[in-house]
Amino acid sequence: MLSNYVLLNAVRRRTESAILSSMQIQRLVLEMSGGLEKARRLQRDFFLRYPEIGFSQAHTIYVTEALVQLDSVKGKSEELKTLIASSDVSDALQDSDIDLNLYLSSVERYAETLNESVNLMTVLADDETGLLARLSKVSGALQVDLARSGVDAWQKVYAVMQLNEKDYLITSRRSYIQSTYNLAATLMYEIEVSAALPDDLKERLLENLTAYSLLANAVVEQDIAIRAKSRDFELQAQSVDPISADLIVLAEAEVLRAQEQVVQTNRLATVALVAITVVSLLLMNSIAYVLNKSITQNVIRLTKAAGQMRAGNLNVSAPVESGDELGELAGTFNDMAAELRASFDALQKVEQRYRALFESSNDAVFIMDLEGVYLMVNRRAAEMLGYSVAEMIGMNPSQVVLPQEYEDSRKKLYAVQKGAQLPVYERTMRCKDGTYVFVEVSMVLVRDADGDPLHIQSIVRDITERKEAEEQIRLLNAELEQRVIERTKQLQVANDELESFSYSVSHDLRAPLRAINGYSQIIQENHRSELSSESARLLDLVQQNALHMGRLIDDLLKFSRFSRQPLKKQTVNPNQLVQQALQILETQCADRPIVFEVGELAPCQGDASLLLQVWVNLLSNAIKFTALRESARIEVGCQPDAYGRNTYFVRDNGVGFDMQYAGKLFGVFQRLHSTSKFGGTGVGLALVHRIISRHGGRIWAEAEPDVGATFFFTL
Amino acid sequence: MEIAPGEPLKFGVLQTFSGGAMPAGLEQARTVELAVAERQNMLLGHPIQLLVEDDACSAEGGANGALRIVADPQVIAIFGTNCSSAAVTASEIMSMAGLVMISSSNTAPELTVVGNHLGRHWFPGYFRTSWNDTETGRAAAMFAAQQLGLHKAAVLHAGDSYTKGLTDAFTKAFTELDGQVVAKIAVDEDDPNFLPALETIARSGAEMVFFSLSQPGAGGRLVLQAQGQHALANLVWIGGEGMLSEAFIQDVGSAGVGVYILGPGSPSSLENMQLRDQYRQRYGETPPSFYYSFTYDAVSLLFGAIESVASRDKDGTLRIGRQALRDAMYATRGYEGLTGTIDCNRFGDCGVATLNVVRMERAGMSVEQLHANVVYIYTSSR
């Protein structure tokens, strides 16, 4: 009997220790995994947010916190290592020692790499002292000085250098930067040998071109180092993530192992109790048989106490106070009962601690019967779903899982019933108030000591916050991608224009044209009498065409200038711009009545001088193409589009055009009407299109022949 | 460290098993396997266990691979890496863990010693049976300046420790020989467009270009894109040993005629031939380079050092002092290996530099034919 007590106590102590250490292991493993995930999220947020909120603030908010998290993960993994070494855990967990070494060193390296990566980013992109900021400053100075030099060819070379720089930022190919060096070398050579350039300008240009090349090189080196760090992070994740996943599985198995030990201990306690009770009864019967009636009363008391004990009352004691053997027997019985009571108290405490851990868990825990009906849920589970614990008992997953996911949940429950081990999976759960939470679920079958299924335990973690952060990052990534696409488009457009201009137009064309015009004028004025009438007519034609060509060149140069002029965005009042445009165009419509209807135009963000040109060109077009109307009508207005953006328009009742040619409207030199009917160079709308594009807006037209045309644009 | 009876002796094998440098990594890992198999997978009565990791031929790959290996406290030493850029980080991690690491193809000077200065990436416990690229740079510079009489050179590298280290060594030696390096260019090996780099070379007035790249494909593309360019017509090309490969010969075709390549001297001893045959028999192909000999020497040297410092307790436990092992390695003198007589200096340089300059005479030469067409031989003065 006494050996039964000793055994019971030993098992109780071991069980208690197993439960505590297994729960502690599980807690550490989950906290390590969560901490690592949080550090990664903070790191991602740092890189996404620093352009918006600045380096130092992003560093304080995200990096410092990420390093704190990593330090905590490191501390916990060291604690886990010690705990595993000192506990009686499974062989599989004992064997994880090497993995834990790697986990620990990888986390340390993660913190180092994060610091290095942030330092590299600071050197590259700090708002004040970063290489990119310095490059931009040198670029600005170069641009100004090259414009001062008055040599267009140099400015064009420099524009190509900047395009190369942007191409590098998009593609990360060094050959673009190498092209830039080559162009910089060409420029430096030409500047050095130029006799026309003032010395101070020459010196400044050479100095800035050298600085530009050095900074561009430093940007490339920094960029390569940053990309290497990104690959480093990926490799670290490849080392750490599988270990993390394995540890979670092992820790869960450890908890199950401890639970099985509880079941075994309970069984052992029951067997011991029955054995003690039976032995006690036998003892009493023997005593009753041997002793005479004088001690019957004491026997009856003893029997009654034993009966109460058998009925489950462990607080009972036998009230026998005689000094004989019966008294000794009753004393032994009472001691045994006290021991038994202490054992059960201890077991109850273990049960209470388990329950406390169950209740204090940050994860929701559901204990289900084999059909999935909730037998027990912790407070976190009830809080997460908005029910009370009492309400949840008796419910089942079909009432809380998203209907379209229920079938899969049912299959998983069935698989677990059959003993399958499922990996952690994600689910959407419906709360009492109709809102949803995203969760990660792990589900295991708990068996009794004989291996028969007892119940199903499901641990559910709320990952709504993580899901939302992932969604936000996805959206940010999508936006970034969109920006890259748009940037590429802008670059392409800029490239095309540059090419077109470098071959077709140069201000040098103006000189010979002026000569043609001037000499024709001299002939007209001084030698007209010597010309035949046919020669005079032909000379008129030469002059008219020279003037037209002059206008074409002027328009093209204007187009070129407006295309490159830096945007100075500010809040602009379009009503004022329209009034200014009408004043400019006053002479164009002075000879005929035109009704202008100008509605209220919403303010916008843009470059006022460029937008004035837009209004001038659109209104000039409307005036021009209503020339054949007796009562011309031009309407200017603003209306919101489907997305709520302001769409401005200019509508006329002029000659209109066939919509099948609408695609040609905005090309340089594209004209839909002959110059004999309506003058112009075919550059006006191209210029409007260019200015609107540079504002990130869109322009389009709707028209009908002989009815009129409407030009719409957004900014 | 202590190894209980029956327990294995563990060694890391950190080589490249992905990307363009994979053939070299595979060759060296296989040779380690071959050398271990030759000993029936046993050393000092214990089975030998190899923990194989990929270093991806990069600093970050080397670091993470090394961390995986040193996580096991029973690992004695690491065979690797084949890429110098991976060794830069792996060496530090190995050193902190108290191990020995021995490479058979790292050549970057910074891993051991640069001239008389300790390399920036030198760490105690690091050794190599390959040579130091200070020698390679000197060999290329001497060939260019003294044999070909060239004075102006452009150098081109890929920005990593190996390729840049080699062009730096060439630059130093060429300048000491009164030559002038007129252009230093870094390229991305996977960039399809080398024309801007070639334009820089053409502008620089260079008579020759010394190009140090890891990937033969990139070298092939470089030479091909120069073909037909008038300004580069008389340029002399000298490539690093990465070009001594079938892939370069195939890619470059007739554009490669006249290109010089610098590489290790071809080991021709009987033992070498036997090892080469064993390799072919076991893996069904000829080793793609001569580094297998250097790997074999690395294994023999390390195992010999372990045997010399190990002691056994009465209960059969084997003891190997980590510092004792390093000391034994540093003390190596006159070891007769397949690649020559090996002495290790205090920086871990154990290799003998016998370098050949070979010339591509015609398109479609085999690697063996190219190896055999030696136009210049360089042996280090060590």
Q: What is the pLDDT along chain B (382 residues), one digit of tens a residue?
A: 999 999 999 999 999 999 878 989 999 999 999 999 999 999 999 999 999 999 999 999 999 999 999 999 999 999 999 999 999 999 999 999 999 999 999 999 999 998 878 999 999 999 999 999 999 999 999 999 999 999 999 999 999 889 999 999 999 999 999 999 999 999 999 899 999 999 999 999 999 999 999 888 899 999 999 998 899 999 999 999 889 888 899 999 999 999 999 988 777 788 999 999 999 999 999 898 888 999 999 999 999 999 999 999 999 999 999 999 999 999 999 999 999 899 999 999 999 878 999 999 999 898 888 988 999 999 876 5
CA torsion through residues A558, A559, A564, A566, sign: positive
Q: Are A239 and A148 in contact (CB under 8 A)?
A: no
Which 3-state string (H, E, C) describes chain B? CEECCCCCEEEEEEECCCCCCHHHHHHHHHHHHHHHHHCCCEECCEEEEEEEEECCCCHHHHHHHHHHHHCCCCEEEEEECCCHHHHHHHHHHHHHCCCEEEECCCCCHHHCEECCEECCCCCCCEEECCCCHHHHHHHHHHHHHHHCCCCEEEEEECCCHHHHHHHHHHHHHHHHCCCEEEEEEECCCCCCCCHHHHHHHHHHCCCEEEECCCCHHHHHHHHHHHCCCHHHCCCEEEECHHHCCHHHHHHHHHHHCCCEEEEECCCCCHHHHHHHHHHHHHHCCCCCCCHHHHHHHHHHHHHHHHHHHCEECCCCCEECCHHHHHHHHHCCCCEEECCEEECCCCCCECCCCEEEEEECCCCCCCHHHHHHCEEEEEECCC
A365 pLDDT higher than 60: yes
Amino acid sitting at position B26: L
A307-327 per-position pLDDT tens digit: 777 777 777 777 766 777 767
A294 pLDDT higher than 60: no
Partner-chain residue, chosen from A109, A174, A176, that has the shortest CB–CB distance to B67: A109
Average pLDDT over residues A387-408: 89
| ipTM exceeds 0.85, yes or no | no
Structure tokens, B114:
């640069």
Local structure of A570: helix, strand or coil: strand
The pLDDT score that the predictor gives to residue A355 is: 78
The pLDDT score that the predictor gives to residue A460 is: 92
Partner-chain residue, chosen from B56, B71, B195, that has the shortest CB–CB distance to A105: B71
B59 reaches A (C-beta below 8 A): yes
A32-46 per-position pLDDT tens digit: 888 888 888 888 888
Report in angstroms the alpha-carbon separations of A98 from A255, A678, B68, B75: 22, 85, 9, 11
Mutate to test the interface with B, among A167, A170, A175 (most CBs of B within 10 A): A175
C-beta atoms surrounding B136 within 10 Å: 27
The pLDDT score that the predictor gives to residue B381 is: 61
Q: What is the pTM of this model?
A: 0.59
Residues of A in contact with B196 (CB under 8 A): 175-176, 178-179, 181-182
Which of A439, A407, A436, A403 minimizes the C-alpha distance to A424?
A439
d(CA A255, CA A75): 22
B379 to chain A, minimum CA–CA distance in Å? 35
C-beta atoms surrounding A553 within 10 Å: 18
Mutate to test the interface with A, among B17, B64, B187, B199 (most CBs of A within 10 A): B64
Helix (H) or strand (E) holding A710: strand A708-714
Q: Which residues pair with A366 in a beta bridge?
A: A377, A458
A468-496 per-position pLDDT tens digit: 888 888 888 888 888 888 887 877 777 66
Local structure of A330: helix, strand or coil: helix
Which of A219, A233, A218 minimizes the C-alpha distance to A117?
A233
Mean pLDDT of chain A: 82
The pLDDT score that the predictor gives to residue A675 is: 62
B378 reaches A (C-beta below 8 A): no
The pLDDT score that the predictor gives to residue A601 is: 92
Would the CB atoms of B67 and A239 count as touching at under 8 Å?
A: yes
Residues of A in contact with B73 (CB under 8 A): 98, 101
Rg, Å, chain B Cα set: 21
The pLDDT score that the predictor gives to residue A317 is: 79
A503 pLDDT higher than 50: no
Helix (H) or strand (E) holding A558: helix A533-564
B89 to chain A, minimum CA–CA distance in Å? 12
Mutate to test the interface with A, among B14, B68, B184 (most CBs of A within 10 A): B68
Average pLDDT over residues A316-345: 76
A573-603 per-position pLDDT tens digit: 999 999 999 888 888 877 788 899 999 999 9
Average pLDDT over residues A616-629: 89
Partner-chain residue, chosen from B58, B67, B195, that has the shortest CB–CB distance to A105: B67
A168-214 per-position pLDDT tens digit: 877 778 888 888 889 999 899 899 888 888 889 999 999 999 999 88
Average pLDDT over residues A235-259: 82
d(CA A653, CA A708): 4
A367 pLDDT higher than 50: yes
> Which residues, including other chains, have CB under 8 Å from residue A222's CB and lie 6 or more apart?
A120, A123, A124, A131
A271 pLDDT higher than 80: no
Residues of A in contact with B72 (CB under 8 A): 98, 101
The chain B residue lying nearest A224, using CA atoms, is B159
DSSP A59: I
Burial class (CB in 10 A: 0-12, 13-18, 19+), A707: exposed
Structure tokens, B214:
């890891």
B205 sits in the region (left: phi over 0; alpha: psi -120 to 50; else beta) called left
A227 reaches B (C-beta below 8 A): no
Average pLDDT over residues A365-391: 91
Q: Which of A48-52, A142-146, A239-243 has the highest mean pLDDT?
A: A142-146
The pLDDT score that the predictor gives to residue A495 is: 63
A232 reaches B (C-beta below 8 A): yes
Mutate to test the interface with A, among B18, B60, B184, B222 (most CBs of A within 10 A): B60
B187 reaches A (C-beta below 8 A): yes
A155-169 per-position pLDDT tens digit: 888 888 888 887 887
B154 to chain A, minimum CA–CA distance in Å? 14
The chain B residue lying nearest A181, using CA atoms, is B200
Compare B223 and A334 and report the one with higher pLDDT. B223
Would the CB atoms of B64 and A98 count as touching at under 8 Å?
A: no
The pLDDT score that the predictor gives to residue A645 is: 81
